[in-house]
Structure 1
Amino acid sequence: MSLNTTDHYWSLIQDRWPARAHLKWLAKIYSGATPSRENAEYWAEGVHPWIGSGEVNQGLVTDPTALISDLAVQETSTKLMRKGALIIALAGQGRTKGTVAQLGIDCFGNQSLSCIDARNDDDRFLFWWLTSLYRQIRGLASDDSRDGLNQEMVGSIPIPIVDISIQRVIANYLDRETARIDGLIAEKQRMLELLEEKRAALFSHVVTRGLDPEVPLKPSCQEWLGEIPAHWRVERAKNLFTVRDERSDDGSEELLTVSHITGVTSRSEKDVYMFEADDKAGYKRCMPGDLAINTLWAWMGAMGISPLAGIVSPDYHVYTSKGELLPEYVDLLCRSLPFVAEVSRWSKGVWSSRLRLYPENFFEMRLPVPPHDEQAAIVRAVKVDQRKANALRESLQLSISLANERRAALITAAVTGQIPLEEMTG
């Protein structure tokens, strides 16, 4: 794909702003570098802000990724990017690639950033123009996250030649109006966060205390559980689960993944950037109702009950309930924050970010065992509560999506001259 005179944008602005130029004619464009992580002197006692490509998601970059030393500046090809200049991410997962941001600090940057230094007082119009071209800029390279943009592609981006006074009117208008929309979006996102906090609190309470607030309690003798209903039991996981270690003959079964956000799901339904082996023979079978635990990320809550038959990585562990605990209750337990903290305590490793939960450790954990009818009642009550919460969550997500669409349309309309100047100054 190329951004040329046949682009849809030029059909919108050719009568109003017919003159245009490539970005490389209007600005200095360059990238930096990442000082070697193997040289501790580059990072120890750092004093200079340094950013990676992910920081473009700040919009206005004020928080560096890290600090680098004088030695790193002297001995590597990382380059200073001045406050006020624009940056575009040349690569990155999700929305990062092609996203533009403005620097709120002087900083050094890595090789996956393209710094656009126009050196004038009207970088904001250029910021909004490049923001409006987000999809087109991404389209200069493959949608594959591993296929990045390069300096030549960035330099080829067409820029309209617009009177400086008009640039300022448009930029001021968009700064003002997008801030208002962003404020509304932030409020709705906070409501989503509150819903998630309420969900987590509900799960944590009902799996350890049940539904009856008047029920007599007793000490569980487990710090993570605290007091539990007097008629509940506490059992070692060894007495509640067995290991399922059945292997796929040819790896043809559906591949499942386990995350701390969604539990056990089909990998085909998720955007996963981790390497996937071509040959999955020997992968572990996982049946509906089995507890699957991502050994490496269990400490973050990457576990849950599988709703599907399939296979998981041989590095995962799969457990089958002996019948004392209902699968649906176990799934709620896996989403409970105290339980996740207890899993982290039983996970072993040298580094806190590289802990692993092995069967011998999992089996030593003590778990609550309510009567079956109470487990079923807890599951039903949570489903009713979450049905209402999910409806509100979907409404908020739709509202956020519409607001983002409105924001994008407003930017496009303003930078292509579709909004009268008198309206933007009114």
Structure 2
Amino acid sequence: MNPRRIFSQEREPAQATDEQLSATQKSGVIPQRLYMEQEDQKVVLALAGLDNFKRVRAGDFVISLRSFQGGIERSSYDGCVSPAYTVLRPKLKTDGGYFRYLLKTDEFILKLQSVTSGIRDGRNVSYEQFALVPLCFPPLPEQTAIAAFLDRETAKIDALVEEQRRLIDLLREKRQAVISHAVTRGLNPAAKLKPSGVDWLGDVPEWWEVASVRRCSTRVVTGSTPSNDAPNTEQDEAFAWYTPGDFSEELLLSASARSVPSSTVLAGELRVFPSNSVLVVSIGATLGKVGYSEVACSANQQINAIVPNEKVTARFLAYSLSEKTAVMRFLSNASTIGIMNQEKTKEIVIAVPPIREQDDIVRYLDQRTSELKALSETAEVAITLLQERRAALISAAVTGKIDVRDFAAETEAA
């Protein structure tokens, strides 16, 4: 059916008492105060007034600046939205739950994109463009049955997805606990312990040394950016240039997303870290992220490189520092704009076993973290499959490929 027969475009002006709403792909159209709470961020309110804003009534749909990517959102609230948005109001008797699912299916979004070629971030989908995409319009009782069916079935799938996400969180916590115990207590549960004298270390095996990064390194160096040649990804013989975005839970750093020409390095325009340096993100949201490189490399100014001395191996130092994120945030005064400069980095204290024991601990941690990673990856695959199942189920139901009338009859009988 032509969308113009189902939805009208509403330009009802906002009232002075209307609450500002935000169109979100995750939660639909909700009050901005709720959006700010959910996302833990501030949005710009229309302090100058709502003269140009459009009124939204509960049950309306809103075409936002992101609808060509994530579909059209339904509102359960009265309020108002930006004049850049398009407000759709049902003209016929419809079940809002049915269209809430239909207007966010992959098939609908692809069709919407096909009639809005050239749209980029910051542009809206017009009512005229929306009207070019025919919509399935089953009888009202069947719309209601489909919505009820999908509410029940997607809730089951969402619960399973949430279980897998909780499992991933638990595996992440387990990984940190395994690392923390190994690098502070070692592998011998019967080892005699002594006080380390450092709150965040606690007791350590009595034959281990307690030392600062200053005493475990030949130097700590901050990264740099070349003055002439911008980092790029097209050099055949490029030199790795790491940024915080290259860091993950994997401690061994892989290829950097960006690089610099070898000629820049040879010209001395870039600080170079020797092989087996340990890199630490020293500012920003990922402050405390750790990695190590088996080859010579470079990095930007947000990263400090620690060059280990004979007391520690690079891999043991990387494991030790990887569970010191909270310590780094404390030392960096992260309540403001946390910065771990070279001096603060040198102040971090770690437990230092003999080299042979470090190697044993690293081998143990490599194996245990690999096992935990495999379990986490299995959970991620399960989430992907469940989400694919969810999308396929919605698509099949709203387009009539599966008959949900028996479900409706069972629900009424119950």
Return the match for 1:253 from 206, 226, 239: 239
Instruction: Report the counterpart of residue 64 of structure 1 in structure 2.
Output: 35
| C-alpha distance in structure 2 between counterparts of 1:399 and 1:211, whole Å | 33
Q: Which amino acid aligns with 1:377?
A: D
The answer as to whether partners of 1:49 and 1:65 remain within 8 angstroms in 2 is no
Instruction: Report the counterpart of residue 292 of structure 1 in structure 2.
Output: 279
Instruction: Report the counterpart of residue 124 of structure 1 in structure 2.
Output: 97
Q: Does 1:243 align with 2:224?
A: no
Alignment map for 1:377-416 (pairs within 5 Å): 377-416=360-399
- Report the 3-state secondary structure (helix = DSSP H, G, I; strand = E; otherwise coil) of the residue aligned with 1:151: coil
| C-alpha distance in structure 2 between counterparts of 1:402 and 1:158, whole Å | 29
Instruction: Report the counterpart of residue 235 of structure 2 in structure 1.
Output: none
Return the match for 2:327 from 315, 321, 342: 342
| C-alpha distance in structure 1 between counterparts of 2:59 and 2:136, whole Å | 20
Q: Does 1:170 align with 2:146?
A: yes
Instruction: Report the counterpart of residue 319 of structure 1 in structure 2.
Output: 306
Q: 1:29 to 1:421 in 2, by over 3 A?
A: same
TM-score by length of 1: 0.74
The answer as to whether partners of 2:3 and 2:130 remain within 8 angstroms in 1 is no
Instruction: Report the counterpart of residue 147 of structure 1 in structure 2.
Output: 121
Instruction: Report the counterpart of residue 355 of structure 2 in structure 1.
Output: 372
* Residue 357 of structure 1, CA deviation: 0.7
* Residue 115 of structure 1, CA deviation: 5.1
Instruction: Report the counterpart of residue 166 of structure 2 in structure 1.
Output: 190
Larger deviation, residues 290-299 vs 354-363: 290-299
Larger deviation, residues 392-401 vs 242-251: 242-251
The answer as to whether partners of 2:56 and 2:79 remain within 8 angstroms in 1 is yes
Q: Which amino acid aligns with 1:74?
A: G
Alignment map for 1:201-216 (pairs within 5 Å): 201-216=177-192
| C-alpha distance in structure 1 between counterparts of 2:391 and 2:311, whole Å | 53
The answer as to whether partners of 2:115 and 2:132 remain within 8 angstroms in 1 is no
Q: 1:303 to 1:156 in 2, by over 3 A?
A: farther
| C-alpha distance in structure 2 between counterparts of 1:386 and 1:143, whole Å | 46
* Residue 341 of structure 1, CA deviation: 1.3
* Residue 414 of structure 1, CA deviation: 1.1
Larger deviation, residues 186-195 vs 255-264: 255-264
The answer as to whether partners of 2:3 and 2:131 remain within 8 angstroms in 1 is yes
* Residue 392 of structure 1, CA deviation: 2.1
The answer as to whether partners of 2:223 and 2:299 remain within 8 angstroms in 1 is no
| C-alpha distance in structure 1 between counterparts of 2:195 and 2:12, whole Å | 61
Q: Which amino acid aligns with 2:49?
A: Q
The size of the alignment, in residue pairs, is 378
* Residue 198 of structure 1, CA deviation: 1.1
Segments of 5+ residues of structure 2 without an aligned counterpart are 232-237
Segments of 5+ residues of structure 1 without an aligned counterpart are 1-19, 33-46, 269-275
The answer as to whether partners of 2:21 and 2:29 remain within 8 angstroms in 1 is no
The answer as to whether partners of 1:49 and 1:68 remain within 8 angstroms in 2 is no
| C-alpha distance in structure 2 between counterparts of 1:359 and 1:24, whole Å | 66
**Pairwise CA RMSD:** 4.0
TM-score by length of 2: 0.76
* Residue 423 of structure 1, CA deviation: 4.3
| C-alpha distance in structure 2 between counterparts of 1:31 and 1:237, whole Å | 65
| C-alpha distance in structure 1 between counterparts of 2:117 and 2:153, whole Å | 32
- Report the 3-state secondary structure (helix = DSSP H, G, I; strand = E; otherwise coil) of the residue aligned with 2:279: strand
* Residue 358 of structure 1, CA deviation: 0.5
Instruction: Report the counterpart of residue 344 of structure 2 in structure 1.
Output: 361
| C-alpha distance in structure 2 between counterparts of 1:178 and 1:205, whole Å | 40
| C-alpha distance in structure 1 between counterparts of 2:406 and 2:394, whole Å | 14
Q: 1:155 to 1:348 in 2, by over 3 A?
A: farther
| C-alpha distance in structure 1 between counterparts of 2:381 and 2:372, whole Å | 14
| C-alpha distance in structure 2 between counterparts of 1:204 and 1:129, whole Å | 48
| C-alpha distance in structure 2 between counterparts of 1:127 and 1:206, whole Å | 50
| C-alpha distance in structure 1 between counterparts of 2:193 and 2:136, whole Å | 72
* Residue 185 of structure 1, CA deviation: 1.4
* Residue 390 of structure 1, CA deviation: 2.5
- Report the 3-state secondary structure (helix = DSSP H, G, I; strand = E; otherwise coil) of the residue aligned with 1:65: helix
Q: Percent identity?
A: 25
| C-alpha distance in structure 2 between counterparts of 1:333 and 1:31, whole Å | 61
